[in-house]
Amino acid sequence: MNRKLEAKILREIRRRALERSDRLQQKTQKWQAIQHTLDALHQVTGLPRHELEVIADEASLSFEASREEFFSIKNQILMAASILGFSIISVWLLLTL
């Protein structure tokens, strides 16, 4: 039994290490893509690098905020209520015409 437990622990360690390695690699690739984009924009627009980095941070924050708001329970309830209300009004209009 002890050997089985040790084997499970080793498999879990390997799995977690590989997952973390993948996340770090994806994060590095994302960072490099942003840097290349900022370099290209600097050459094309002539805007200072610092200003482009501020724009990139603002864009990133706005997308994260909208993504977080999409998954909020309040917004999901509002969306479901809107769809339900639209459906009820549509059926009512079809039946009355």
pLDDT band at 42 (very low <50, low <70, confident <90, very high): very high
pLDDT band at 1 (very low <50, low <70, confident <90, very high): low
Higher pLDDT, 79 or 31: 31
CA atoms of 19 and 24, how far apart (whole Å): 9
CA atoms of 7 and 5, how far apart (whole Å): 5
Q: What is the pLDDT of residues 49-89, one digit of tens each?
A: 999 999 998 888 887 766 656 667 777 788 888 888 888 88
Q: Are 52 and 42 in contact (CB under 8 A)?
A: yes
